[in-house]
């Protein structure tokens, strides 16, 4: 379901046309998935090479977290014990369900927008089951299990963030009906994927795309190049993003309560203002 005008999600992520032909350049086995695009995670099927690659990816990123990741992320990582190997989602779900009543669902890779947002609206986070190849060790366009699990899962243990993400899912389904998803997708990208937060006067990362990439974590926090701007919903919705390179703008929250509060209103008038701009 192509959207008029701008893509809802960038071309590389717009898979609606490709889902009917899962071999069209998309990773993952979509053949035996359920109607909601979920699959089983056969945690015993990962090869020893993949387990070793996972450990190298985790070790490299853990070393960069001190002074760069927000406190909530660091505390959750300590409990997730990712250095033991590729996590079993069923095991993580016991702790996650107890912490914020969320659960991880295994998916073969990118899923269509409305499927993705319906999962979020029901406190289910889709986590890709396959791991990048050795050639993609430093960079991968579409999300793999390292991006999804290492990047996104720790923040799901923070209640106010978890509540926001569910509200985002509801909001995105509504935005799609109102023709506003192109703008609301930017909010997802500048928070859930590339978000920064001020913590005790210092800037820290909470965005999954930043926290799962060595290059972007350094760029977002330490490079002189990008603009680091105060979080503002309308400014964000007016700011296009890049998926295949580091960002030229990052937005800084004062708190996760700010994120939840500022995104609570009905966005219908915001879309009208953006459309008339
Ligand atoms: N599918 N599996 C998966 N993971 C995502 O992060 C994802 C998706 N489909 C759509 C989508 N993200 C985008 O619409 C959001 O990032 C805005
Ligand atoms: Fe992501």
Q: What is the SS3 string spanning the chain?
A: CCCCCCCCCCHHHCCCCCCCCCCCCCCCCCCCCCCCCCCCCCHHHCCHHHHHHHHHHHHHHHHHCCCCECHHHHHHHHHHCHHHCCCCHHHHHHHHHHHHCCEEEEECCCCCHHHHHHHHHCCEEEEECCCCCHHHCCCCCCCCHHHHHHHHHHHHHCHHHHHHHHHHHHHHHHHHHHCCHHHHHHHHHHHHHCCEEEECCEEEECCHHHHCCHHHHHHHHHCCCCEEEECCHHHHHCCCCCCCCCCCEEEEECCHHHHHHHCCCCCHHHHHHHHHC
Determine what percent of the chain is predicted with pLDDT higher than 90: 87
- Structural domain contains residue 277: no
Ligand 1 pocket at CB < 6 A: 9, 13, 107, 110-111, 113, 116, 126, 128, 143, 185, 188
**Pair of tokens at residue 184:** 């609301």
Half-sphere exposure of 33 (CA within 13 A, CB side): 22
Alpha carbon of 112 to ligand 1 centroid (Å): 7
Q: Out of 1, 7, 13, give the residue to mutate to test ligand 1, the one with the largest number of ligand atoms within 8 Å of its CB.
A: 13
* pLDDT of 156 higher than 80: yes
Ligand with smallest separation from the Cα of 194: 2
- Structural domain contains residue 165: yes
Computed on alpha carbons and rounded to an integer, the radius of gyration of the chain in Å comes to 18
Q: Which atom of ligand 1 is nearest to the CA of 172?
A: 17
Active-site annotation holder among 193, 216, 219, 260:
193
Q: Are 126 and 153 in contact (CB under 8 A)?
A: no
If one counts the domains in the chain, the total is: 1
| pLDDT tens-digit series, residues 169-182 | 999 999 999 999 99
Q: Which atom of ligand 1 is nearest to the CA of 127?
A: 2
**Pair of tokens at residue 151:** 């990047």
Alpha carbon of 110 to ligand 1 centroid (Å): 6
At 141 the pLDDT is 84
Q: Which atom of ligand 1 is nearest to the CA of 111?
A: 1
CA atoms of 215 and 157, how far apart (whole Å): 25
- Structural domain contains residue 174: yes
* Of 91, 213, 89, 195, the residue nearest 146 (C-alpha): 213
Q: Of 6-15, 82-91, 191-200, which range is least confident?
A: 6-15
Ligand with smallest separation from the Cα of 128: 1
- Structural domain contains residue 266: yes
At 22 the pLDDT is 38
- Structural domain contains residue 3: no
Structural domain boundaries, residue 252:
10-271
Query: Catalytic site residue 147?
Result: yes
CA atoms of 62 and 66, how far apart (whole Å): 8
Ligand with smallest separation from the Cα of 3: 1
- Structural domain contains residue 92: yes
The mean per-residue pLDDT over the stretch 186-214 comes to: 98
Residue nearest to atom 4 of ligand 1 (CA): 110
At 67 the pLDDT is 97
Q: Of 28-32, 34-38, 100-104, 236-240, which range is least confident?
A: 28-32
Query: Catalytic site residue 261?
Result: no
CA atoms of 140 and 244, how far apart (whole Å): 9
Active-site annotation holder among 50, 164, 212, 219:
212
- Structural domain contains residue 5: no
**What's 78's domain CATH number?**
1.10.800.10
- Structural domain contains residue 2: no
10 Å Cβ neighbour count for 209? 23
- CA angle, residues 175, 176, 181, in degrees to nearest 5: 65
Q: Whole-model pTM?
A: 0.91
């Amino acid at each position: 379901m192509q959207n008029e005008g701008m893509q809802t999600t960038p071309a590389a992520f717009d898979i609606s046309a490709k889902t009917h032909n899962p071999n069209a350049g998309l990773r993952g086995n979509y053949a035996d998935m359920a109607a909601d695009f979920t699959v089983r995670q056969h945690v015993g099927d990962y090869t020893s090479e993949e387990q070793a690659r996972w450990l190298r990816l985790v070790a490299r990123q853990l070393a960069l977290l001190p002074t760069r990741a927000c406190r909530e992320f660091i505390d959750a990582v300590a409990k997730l014990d990712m250095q033991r190997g590729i996590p079993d989602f069923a095991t993580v779900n016991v702790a996650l369900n107890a912490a914020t009543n969320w659960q991880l669902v295994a998916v073969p890779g990118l899923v269509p927008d409305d499927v993705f947002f319906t999962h979020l609206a029901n406190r289910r986070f889709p986590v890709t089951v396959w791991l990048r190849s050795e050639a993609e060790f430093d960079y991968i366009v579409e999300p793999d299990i390292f991006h999804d699990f290492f990047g996104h899962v720790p923040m799901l243990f923070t209640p106010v963030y978890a509540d926001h993400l569910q509200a985002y899912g509801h909001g995105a389904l509504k935005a799609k009906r109102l023709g506003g998803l192109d703008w609301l997708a930017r909010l997802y990208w500048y928070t859930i994927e590339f978000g920064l937060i001020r913590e005790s006067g210092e800037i820290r990362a909470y965005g999954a795309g930043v926290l799962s990439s060595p290059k972007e974590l350094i760029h977002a926090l330490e490079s002189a190049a990008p603009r680091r701007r105060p979080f503002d919903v309308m400014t964000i919705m007016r700011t296009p993003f890049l998926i295949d390179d580091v960002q030229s703008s990052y937005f800084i929250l004062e708190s996760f309560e700010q994120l939840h509060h500022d995104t609570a209103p009905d966005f219908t008038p915001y879309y009208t203002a953006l459309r008339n701009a």
